[in-house]
Amino acid sequence: MLRSYVQTDGFWGIVNQNNRKEYMKIADTEFYIGISTNKEVKPENTAESLATFICDAGNSGDLRIITPNGNEILNTFGIFINRCADMEFLEELKKVLIPMQKKLEGELGLPECVCH
């Protein structure tokens, strides 16, 4: 299958031979690189590992998750997901990340959001 890589909406994706846009999948790469304001790490390619990285490093600032080629596949606003190119992985990640975020918010003494 003929594919070409293109950057769309700030994320790298693939345009296949039928000219359909496919976003990169986190599972497509053996590992990824997590970049925070003060370090660069290579977390395991699992939802649990990424959630831990987001909660640990996200307290100091925004994060970027990139492929070894430098293509961004996820970024955060602190400990919260801002954008993610892989919606399937995002659903898996949220199952692990949201309980961690709630626990962290409780430890920090942040008030719970009440929406009307």
Q: pTM here?
A: 0.70
Whole-number pLDDT of residue 64: 93
Whole-number pLDDT of residue 48: 92
Whole-number pLDDT of residue 72: 85
The 10s digit of each residue's pLDDT in 11-25 is: 444 444 555 555 556
DSSP string, 24-65: PPGGGSS--EEE-SS-EE---SSHHHHHHHHHHHGGGS--EE
The 10s digit of each residue's pLDDT in 51-72 is: 999 999 998 899 998 888 788 8
State how far the alpha carbon of 25 is from the alpha carbons of 90, 104, 116, in Å: 10, 28, 36
Positive or negative: CA dihedral 90, 35, 69, 7: positive
State how far the alpha carbon of 91 is from the alpha carbons of 38, 39, 40, in Å: 28, 26, 25
CB atoms within 10 A of CB 32: 25
